[in-house]
Amino acid sequence: MDNLSVMWETFSLTETEGHKYRVCGNSGDGPYLLAARFFTGRVLSLEAIARTFKLLWHVKKGFVVRDMGNHCVLFVFMEESDIDKVLAGEPWSFDKNLVALKRVSRPAEVRGLNFDWVSFWIQVHDLPLGSLNMRIASDIVSTAGMVISGSGDAEEFEGGNYMRVRVSIDITKPLSRGRKVEFENGEESWVGFKYERLPNLCYWCGCLTHQDQDCSLWQNRKGFMPARNQQFGPWLRAGTPNLAKRMIVRVASYEEDVQGAVEQPSPINMQERQGRTEV
């Protein structure tokens, strides 16, 4: 049956078969659709998916889970802001394997959807002292994917000895492990990348779409590849920072403190003003 969607182009259609029906887009009143691709070899359980993401997403109006085949699932929401919230929380995983999401904003077929891009928070480590700022971190990590600007408050980006950058990465390619940097004096160094909430990945090729035993590099060698030859590893996985804990404290200058004290009226003056007003 899956091949019929391709075979129909070679059919000689009857008059009734060729009579087109116009499919209109979303009217804006819902429902709102979010397609998902589950990168796992196991059979999917819709009940398990519903239970898992109900606890993770905390949406306002609930959702419906529809099996679309080939490890693709359609989530149906009645509130568009729920989809915005889910996408802002990427990446998501199920059974420790990546789940790639795609907003469906127009009539589309599942087989035509592109699930190649997923957003991650990347921690940029070992930046040179004096270079711990968002501009430099964004420039360096731009080789890992498309940097998403304006993706949070300033405090979300700074982790003390590293910077956090929101990046949309192409999951069909190996993860970027870091980038070489060169100083003005010609010396070179290495800036490492770590990925928050990183799901399972292949330690042979660095892709998120399969695991070690399914990698063509490993299979072509018939399994005769020592683990020490793996180019990727769990060291790419970063712990999720506690944003409630301050990693940086900014101290105002003496002039700013004095200026603030001058501009702030004293309680006594406030009472005098209120008294004069009442009189």
pLDDT above 90 (res 220): no
Q: Are residues 104 and 125 in the same domain?
A: no
Q: What is the mean pLDDT of residues 22-33?
A: 69
Residue 103 belongs to domain spanning: 23-112
Q: Are residues 124 and 107 in the same domain?
A: no
Q: Are residues 77 and 185 in the same domain?
A: no
Longest CA span, the chain: 94
3-class SS at 186? coil
Least confident range from 26-30, 125-129, 217-221, 242-246: namely 26-30
Higher-pLDDT residue of 158 and 42 is 42
Q: Are residues 234 and 131 in the same domain?
A: yes
Percentage of residues of the chain with pLDDT beyond 90: 55
Predicted local distance difference test score (pLDDT) of residue 150: 58
pLDDT band at 72; cut points 50, 70, 90:
very high
pLDDT above 50 (res 1): no
Q: Are residues 50 and 144 in the same domain?
A: no
Percentage of residues of the chain with pLDDT beyond 70: 77
Q: Are residues 86 and 158 in the same domain?
A: no
Q: Are residues 142 and 216 in the same domain?
A: yes
Q: Which residues of 21-44 are buried (b: 16+ CB within 10 A; e: fewer)?
A: eeeeeeeeeeebbbbbbbbbeeeb
Q: What is the mean pLDDT of residues 48-66?
A: 96
pLDDT above 60 (res 97): yes
Q: Are residues 85 and 126 in the same domain?
A: no
Question: Does the residue 41 lie in any domain?
Answer: yes
Question: Does the residue 51 lie in any domain?
Answer: yes
Average pLDDT, the chain: 84
pLDDT above 60 (res 61): yes
Q: Are residues 89 and 188 in the same domain?
A: no
Predicted local distance difference test score (pLDDT) of residue 14: 74
- For 118, 206, 252, 260, 265, the CA distances from 257, given in Å and listed in that order, are 44, 51, 7, 5, 14
Nearest CA-CA partner of 101 in 112, 111, 116 = 116
Interval 175-188: pLDDT, tens: 999 999 998 889 89
Question: Does the residue 256 lie in any domain?
Answer: no
Higher-pLDDT residue of 256 and 97 is 97
pLDDT band at 111; cut points 50, 70, 90:
confident
Q: Are residues 76 and 124 in the same domain?
A: no
What CATH number has the domain bearing residue 52? 3.30.70.330
Question: Into how many domains does the chain fold?
Answer: 2
Q: Are residues 145 and 93 in the same domain?
A: no
Which of 238, 253, 272 terminates a domain? The answer is: 238
Predicted local distance difference test score (pLDDT) of residue 183: 87
